[in-house]
Amino acid sequence: MDRRLATSVHTGLLIAVLGAFAWVTGFPMLFPSLGPSAFVLAMFPDGEASDTHRVVVGHAIGVVAGLFAYHLFAGGVTMTTQVTPLSMPGFRLAASGCIATVLTVGGMLALRVRHPPACATTLIVALGLLSSPAEGATILVAVVILVGVQSLILSVVKLTEQTDITTDISD
């Protein structure tokens, strides 16, 4: 199979599993930052960027930083509708997003777990889109499922490759 097609299908499969979980449970387990994470996992399955620890901890830092900033600066305000220009709610959301991003990047660099999609996660939380502790936990469960499905896919691929090699040798 062409590498571009395989990467596209692999990325889609990762997102489809999370979409199925979201559909079955009703929990928000499918959110924008998982798309780039799924792409990184599919594109670089054996690369440093796809390290399970890096992906999970990066998103965890994003969730914690987003929750901290949101509840400190913007609690009760959301970026789901247009905010009045120069309004205090708009300022609070902007401050929350900015502080959450700084904390996320700083945390990832300090712990050496760079995962750029985590910056999208922190904004999702900091802007009030998924800003309760329960929603933060749901984000982390979705990320763990994502990397778990990735591990399963890689195990199946390796098993298939080993079977192909054994079949080729015995033929």
* Tens-binned pLDDT, residue by residue, of the chain (171 aa): 688 999 999 999 999 999 999 999 999 999 999 999 999 999 998 888 889 999 999 999 999 999 999 999 999 999 888 889 999 999 999 999 999 999 999 999 999 999 999 999 999 999 999 999 999 999 999 999 999 999 999 999 888 877 755 555 555
Q: How far from 144 is each of 14, 29, 96, 160, CA to CA, in Å?
A: 12, 11, 26, 24
For residue 34, what pLDDT is reported? 96
Contact 61, 107 (CB under 8 A): yes
For residue 168, what pLDDT is reported? 52
Contact 70, 146 (CB under 8 A): no
> End-to-end CA distance of the chain, in Å?
23
Residue-wise burial string across 73-106, b where 16 or more C-beta atoms lie within 10 A, e elsewhere: bbeebebeeebeeeeeebebbbebbebbbebbbe
Contact 146, 18 (CB under 8 A): yes
- What are the tokens at 127? 């802007």
φ/ψ bin of 153: left (φ > 0), alpha (ψ from -120 to 50), beta (otherwise) = alpha
pLDDT tens for each residue of 142-162: 999 999 999 999 999 888 877
